Chains A and B, each alone.
Chain A
Amino acid sequence: GDSVTQMEGPVTLSEEAFLTINCTYTATGYPSLFWYVQYPGEGLQLLLKATKADDKGSNKGFEATYRKETTSFHLEKGSVQVSDSAVYFCALRATADGLTFGKGTHLIIQP
């Protein structure tokens, strides 16, 4: 079946550091890929998405490129802020069913 693998963390960085959170997937067909963010005590918010190979999703300084050859969708940000501290989920959707999520990566940014 479909699956998503991502580093679980916690990942601790200093403010203004470069961020990479790795995400790889296994799916049949051509899934759409997503990054969601969950702030403490809140629901999930869509951060960015890509629907086909080589698409780059971007939002709020975060970027991720759909790499079909490596089945990856790594999340990057050039300079993180304390306010970026949250749990980040990589997800895919290959059919009309619900999303398949990774385990989530807890990101902690220290001032």
Chain B
Amino acid sequence: DSGVTQTPKHLITATGQRVTLRCSPRSGDLSVYWYQQSLDQGLQFLIQYYNGEERAKGNILERFSAQQFPDLHSELNLSSLELGDSALYFCASSLGQGVYEQYFGPGTRLTVT
């Protein structure tokens, strides 16, 4: 158990809908990262937050957004969903911004039908 929690575990929704994925980092960690794992693209970094502020962006679509709240939990919002958005979404947390170890949550499996 990494100490990172993600909810829900599974999510099934229809095209065009909007969903919110939630992540609680390990106690004491200030950075949160979101990753997408799909069969065709592999594991891709989406976005990073540090202590409530966006710090880095990877291959995140404009339909996707995220935020980190004062209690340090984070939410990833996915809108206008397409079939191709079906994937495993992982959250990871680390102590700070540098090359600290990232601890991964169990993931949320999103299925868009």
User: B106 in the interface, Cβ–Cβ < 8 Å?
Assistant: yes
A106 on the B face (CB < 8 A)? no
Q: Is there contact, CB below 8 Å, between A98 and B56?
A: yes
Give the distance in Å from the alpha carbon of A97 to the alpha carbon of B56 in the complex: 6
Contacting pair A51 B106 (CB below 8 A): no
Tell me whether A45 and B42 are in contact (CB under 8 A): no
- Count B-side interface residues using an 8 Å CB cutoff: 26
Which range contains the number of A residues in contact with the other chain?
20 to 34
A44 within 8 A of B: yes
Could you tell me the distance between the alpha carbons of A103 and B37 in the complex, rounded to whole angstroms?
10
Docked CA distance A43–B3 (Å): 11
Are B58 and A93 closer than 8 Å at their CB atoms? no
Say whether B104 contacts A32, CB under 8 Å. no
Q: How far is the CB of A105 from chain B (nearest CB, A)?
A: 12
Any chain A CB within 8 A of the CB of B45?
Answer: yes
* Contacts A44-B90, A98-B48, A98-B58; A104 near B105 (Cβ below 8 A): no
Specify the chain B residue showing the minimal Cβ separation from A101: B43
Whether the Cβ atoms of B42 and A101 lie closer than 8 Å is yes
Q: Is the interface of B mostly helix, strand, loop or mixed?
A: strand
> CA separation between A102 and B44, bound complex, in Å?
10
Q: CB within 8 Å of B: which of A25-50?
A: 32, 36, 42-46, 49
Q: Which residue of A lies closest to B46 (CB)?
A: A98
Do the beta carbons of A103 and B106 come within 8 Å of each other?
no
Q: How far is the CA of A103 from the CA of B40 in the complex (A)?
A: 9
Q: Report the Cα distance A98→B43, complex, angstroms.
A: 11
- 18 A–B contacts, CB within 8 A, in A order: A43-B2, A43-B4, A43-B105, A44-B43, A44-B92, A46-B102, A49-B101, A89-B43, A95-B56, A97-B48, A98-B56, A98-B58, A99-B35, A99-B45, A99-B102, A101-B42, A102-B42, A103-B42
B31 to A: closest C-beta gap in Å? 9
Give the Cβ gap from B46 to chain A, nearest Cβ, in Å.
8
Residue A98 contacts which of B35, B105, B106 (CB distance < 8 angstroms)? Answer: B35
